[in-house]
A and B are shown apart, each in its own frame.
Chain A
Amino acid sequence: MLRTRGWIEAWLLLVPGFVFLIAFTHVPALVTIWNSFFTTPRGRRPARWAGLENYETLLSDPTFWKVLKNNALYAAGTIPLSIGIALVMALWVNRQLAGRGLVRMAYFTPTVLPMIAVANIWMFFYTPGFGLIDQIGAALGLGQTNILGSADTALWGVMVVTIWKEAGFFMIFYLAALQTIPPSLVEAARIEGAGGWTIFRRITLPLLMPTTLFVSINAVVNSFRMVDHIFILTGGGPDNASSLLLFYIYEVAFRFWDTAYGATLTVVLLAFLMILAIGQFVLFDRRVHYR
């Protein structure tokens, strides 16, 4: 009797959280999967069962393959670079340094800014003719550029902005992790004759592995999730050259109002994210030492 009451009480306490989680996360996710098997309802024509039709359309959709390729390139370019830069910056601001607090703050500033603001700042750099890059280029006698306007370079331009924004955020995690490594470990390694590079490779880096796992999962999720700056910088163009999967989903669902196909694309995106996250855990598991 008493146990039943405790049980009921526990559930009552869990309910408020569950209601929001179910209403705004789990139900929409399930509805999305359900919708992906129907046609898009239009006007007086209601949605009808379509089976795998939407998925067949997806496989033969050249834009889908293009944004998928873009996204793969975007992830492969931004993840290692932003993590690498974050680590270097963290190591740098972790030492005794005049004005250390100022440098830390400067590195962290991009994280605080909204992505839309970041994109606008970078517009001042990229704008052909009178942007910062072209002004410096002109001073050096170089010609005018149009990085965001040409299909070959637009995606790279977007990637640079992402790295700039993400590195400072990841740096904070590395910095926190670095400060939990006892200095006596480094001292012991120095006594044993290890140089700076050996200490980094054999002591610091392995002890940072839990952080690296955490940061890299975040980076992977972000590479599929962060598209705000594309709206400002390129709008996905030219000719989808800088469009990513989520940006394409937005366009399909809310610009072309093909909600069923949007749901189908979303299911694919969620499947990708799940596979990648699980894959990372498996890949890192043996190499991560948790304290």
Chain B
Amino acid sequence: MAPRSCALCLKAKSMLKRPKTGQQICRDCFFYVFETEVHNTIIHSKLFNPGDRVAIGASGGKDSTVLAYVMKTLNERYQYGLELFLLSIDEGITGYRDDSLETVKRNQEQYDMPLKILSYGELYGWTMDAIVSQVGRKNNCTFCGVFRRQALDRGAAMLNVDHIVTGHNADDIAETVLMNIMRGDIARLGRCTSICTQGEDTIRRSKPFKYAYEKEIVMYAYFKKLDYFSTECIYSPDAYRGHARAFLKDLEAARPSAIIDIIHSGEAFEIKEEIKATQKVQQTCQRCGYMSSNPLCKACTLLEGLERGMANSGITDRGRRKLDAEGPTPDNLRTIPFFRRPSGGYPAIAVELPS
């Protein structure tokens, strides 16, 4: 096939077909439109204020590596006035996270950003390796997910940042929409498409890649020769998400706009007021001070189960009853250090609403 020239500059040879628009464009125009679209997302959603301290949740994988690079580029190009940090969570998974953290450490030098690594071992006294050796490979992703979410907030508090940005891309969000529909999880369905969650949480969290296709992120990393790490977590089958993902990729192959269409339909769902009213009121965990919808937050509940040798107590009601039957929580139980919010001053009690 004869090489065609770029649909935008009309000069250079086109190098890729944009899944979002079908346009055939050259490498330089691709860099420009990709970066500009992320910039437009940031500006339209008013994600940042000048002077904000922003932590980039960095795993060493493709999305967060590209996010760090693009955030640095845009912050300089458009003078956002942000102070950028890399924040990594070390789950303590030998042969997986230790390798990917090496990538993050290189990114720290390449992008000249301060890096904070917070480990599960340091925060909870349990690495994922230790958790898996106690609970097996069935529910370990529950522990990891709950612990990571809280660890990111705590790491952000240590950095005293105003905001966490994560590399979630359009494909991830479309997958989550599908999963929430399949599970009938109406509260999460309402929340999962919002670009920024605030009020629900202690520290603002947003997804500047909400509209960026995974294909373009990978192409961007490839053309820019960015240094990223790609290995599947050795413990994670996350089978359910895997099926949603394979299904979504099949849809995308048939019609590339499917991804953005699914995000749009997730956004279009409206939740009735009376349903919202039944959702739990946000409170503060009695034991560790973290945001919670119960007297004890999920991480404290899971940690107590681990410490008392009844890891299932945080997962099933039956496990919980068994734990309660064993007697009250011992005084010398290991707990998570008390959570101190950064100086911003967010309301301690907020009703959990889709924003």
A and B are interacting partners: no
User: B residues touching A (Cβ–Cβ < 8 Å)?
Assistant: none
